[in-house]
Structure formats: C-alpha cells, structure tokens
Amino acid sequence: MFGFSIQKLLFTVAAIFVVWYGFKWVGRMKKVREREARDRLRRQAGTGGGAGNSESGESGVAEEMVECQTCGAFVAATGAKSCGKEECPYPG
C-alpha cells in the first residue's frame, strides 16, 4: 500500500502548479508594469511638444528650439545665436 492517497497526491500536484503559475504570473505582471512605467516616463521626458511645458522649465532638459528660417539649423529659442551665415536673422 502507498503511504498516501492518490487524491492527496493530486491535490499536492495541483497546489504546486497553482503556486508555480502564480509566481510566474506575478513576475510577468511586475515586468509589464515596470515596462509600462518606463515607457510612460520616457514619453513624458521625450516628446514634450507644446502641450504643457510648465514643468520642463528650469532643468533645461528640453529647451525650446526654433528652426532658423534661413539656414534651417535649430537654435535655442531663448538667446538664439547666429549660425554664422550672413542671412541668419539671429544676432551673432
């Protein structure tokens, strides 16, 4: 005779499976959530655009850039300097 019943064995196996898949699932959710958070941060820091630039002020991470009408170079909107060409509208 076995020292354990088949029902107990099945239950144990089932419990192990549940725990195993539970851990796997939790780990995957954690990874997904981390990636989502990272994406969100990158999106906030990255594009910025013209939406709400009140927060990106002092650190100078994303200084507003304007395109030079003449030469097409991008210069900082505040204190724009000439790119060196004579036609450039900015003081150099």
List contacts with Zn ion (CB under 5 A): 68, 70-71, 83, 88
Nearer to Zn ion, 62 or 71 (CB): 71
What is the distance between the alpha carbons of residues 12 and 23, in angstroms, rounded to a whole number? 16
Beta carbon of residue 39, minimum distance to Zn ion (angstroms, whole number): 36
Q: Where are the beta strands (DSSP E) in the chain?
A: 65-67, 74-76
Beta carbon of residue 29, minimum distance to Zn ion (angstroms, whole number): 51
Beta carbon of residue 52, minimum distance to Zn ion (angstroms, whole number): 29
Residue pointed to by tokens 């724009």:
80
